[in-house]
Amino acid sequence: MNKLEVPGKFDRAARGYDLLVGLNPGYHQALRRSARALGLRPGMRVLDLGCGTGASTAALVAAVPGVEIVAVDASAGMIERARQKRWPSTVRFVHSRAEDVDEGEFDAVFAAYLVRNLPEPDGTLKRIRSFIKPGGTLVLHEYSVRDSLISTAVWTALCAFIVPAGWLVTGDRSLYTYLWRSVMDFDGASALRNRLRRNGFTGVRSAPLPGLQLGVVHTFRGHVPEQEQR
Ligand SMILES: C[S@@+](CC[C@H](N)C(=O)[O-])C[C@H]1O[C@@H](n2cnc3c(N)ncnc32)[C@H](O)[C@@H]1O
């Protein structure tokens, strides 16, 4: 499957998405942990890129009530599901590709399970950096297994459940086989940290998330330097 086709596949998967992620007991807790890594304070402006049905948006709301959140996704079906939920008045959903976002500057950007799906991750990371204010923060919450044979084996074992479950719930197997392969092909944690550095982020760190996804899902954080001239 071509990466340009991914949002369209999520349109079809949107109906079953919340049910499927709900089967992973640590899914929402892990998102909240990554959202806390943004170091948000009330009054900040945050972009949730690839917000899907709003699971990552909810993690941001839980991290600090009162932040302004612009939540963006390229799948009309996923955004539609997100909009059907109850949100504080400080949350707004926008149907757009990450590559085309034009919503002004942000104190922080959160992208959960997005970067691996981007056709041109370097170009899009540079663009994301351009709308983070000096001193601001990017957090990626992402699968990254290639640095470890054990993590690669755990991911493949998890997919022995995820692929049939996704197929059963949505009637389409292709998004879930793509999920397995895209994670197998994506950066290891050290490669993703280097990718952030070469696209201009400083103070780059990552940490594995605990639970069922230990060694499989990580939080990556980088900053835009405080004294940057624009
Ligand atoms: C696995 S879901 C994650 C949703 C949410 N962040 C969460 O944590 O549950 C990935 C989302 O990224 C979106 N996506 C994929 N490519 C995109 C792109 N180029 N621009 C914006 N969104 C994209 C998909 O439509 C999908 O909703």
End-to-end CA distance of the chain: 39
Q: Does residue 56's CB lie within 6 angstroms of at least one atom of ligand 1?
A: yes
Is there a domain that residue 156 lies in? no
- Give how many domains the chain has, as a whole number: 1
If you measure from the C-alpha of residue 112 to the centroid of ligand 1, how many angstroms do you get, rounded to a whole number? 8
Q: Does residue 118's CB lie within 6 angstroms of at least one atom of ligand 1?
A: yes
Name the β-bridge partners of 70: 47, 92
CB atoms < 10 A from the CB of 122, how many? 11
Of 113, 52, 118, 39, nearest in space to 85 by CA: 52
The pLDDT confidence band at residue 229, using thresholds 50, 70 and 90, is: low
Please tell me the distance from the alpha carbon of residue 210 to that of residue 70, in angstroms, as a whole number.
Answer: 28
Is there a domain that residue 158 lies in? no
Please tell me the distance from the alpha carbon of residue 146 to that of residue 154, in angstroms, as a whole number.
Answer: 11
Q: Does residue 7's CB lie within 6 angstroms of at least one atom of ligand 1?
A: yes
If you measure from the C-alpha of residue 98 to the centroid of ligand 1, how many angstroms do you get, rounded to a whole number? 9
Is there a domain that residue 182 lies in? no
Its domain, for residue 38, covers: 25-144+187-223
If you measure from the C-alpha of residue 111 to the centroid of ligand 1, how many angstroms do you get, rounded to a whole number? 8
Joined together, the tokens standing for residue 169 give 């719930």
If you measure from the C-alpha of residue 150 to the centroid of ligand 1, how many angstroms do you get, rounded to a whole number? 27
Is there a domain that residue 89 lies in? yes
**Plot region of 204 (φ>0 → left; ψ -120 to 50 → alpha; else → beta):** beta
CA-11 nearest atom, ligand 1: 25
Of 130, 128, 157, nearest in space to 220 by CA: 128
Q: Does residue 54's CB lie within 6 angstroms of at least one atom of ligand 1?
A: no
The pLDDT confidence band at residue 2, using thresholds 50, 70 and 90, is: confident
Q: Does residue 31's CB lie within 6 angstroms of at least one atom of ligand 1?
A: yes
Is there a domain that residue 6 lies in? no
Is there a domain that residue 3 lies in? no
Give tens-digit pLDDT for 101-160: 999 999 999 999 999 999 999 999 999 999 999 999 999 999 999 999 999 999 999 999
54 to 65, 80, 134, 201, 229: CA distances (angstroms):
15, 10, 27, 26, 34
Please tell me the distance from the alpha carbon of residue 88 to that of residue 114, in angstroms, as a whole number.
Answer: 24
> Is residue 60 within 8 Å of residue 111, measured between CB atoms?
no
* Most confident of the ranges 115-129, 157-171, 201-215: 115-129
Is there a domain that residue 90 lies in? yes
Q: Outline where the chain has alpha helix (H).
A: 6-22, 27-36, 55-63, 76-83, 121-130, 149-170, 174-185, 189-198
Q: Which pLDDT value is given to residue 65?
A: 86
Going by alpha carbons, the residue nearest to atom 26 of ligand 1 is 52
CA angle 172, 174, 179 (to 5 degrees): 120
Q: Evaluate if pTM is beyond 0.85.
A: yes
Over residues 174-193, mean pLDDT: 96
Which is more confidently placed, 70 or 1?
70
The pLDDT confidence band at residue 11, using thresholds 50, 70 and 90, is: very high
CATH (domain of 201): 3.40.50.150
If you measure from the C-alpha of residue 141 to the centroid of ligand 1, how many angstroms do you get, rounded to a whole number? 12
If you measure from the C-alpha of residue 56 to the centroid of ligand 1, how many angstroms do you get, rounded to a whole number? 10
The pLDDT confidence band at residue 212, using thresholds 50, 70 and 90, is: confident
If you measure from the C-alpha of residue 133 to the centroid of ligand 1, how many angstroms do you get, rounded to a whole number? 23
Of 114, 126, 123, nearest in space to 220 by CA: 114
Q: Does residue 139's CB lie within 6 angstroms of at least one atom of ligand 1?
A: no
Is there a domain that residue 228 lies in? no
Nearby residues of 36 by Cβ (< 8 Å), 6 or more positions away: 63
Q: Among residues of the chain, what percentage have pLDDT more than 90? A: 88
Q: Which residue has the tokens 């499927």?
A: 20
Give tens-digit pLDDT for 29-64: 999 999 999 999 999 999 999 999 999 999 999 999
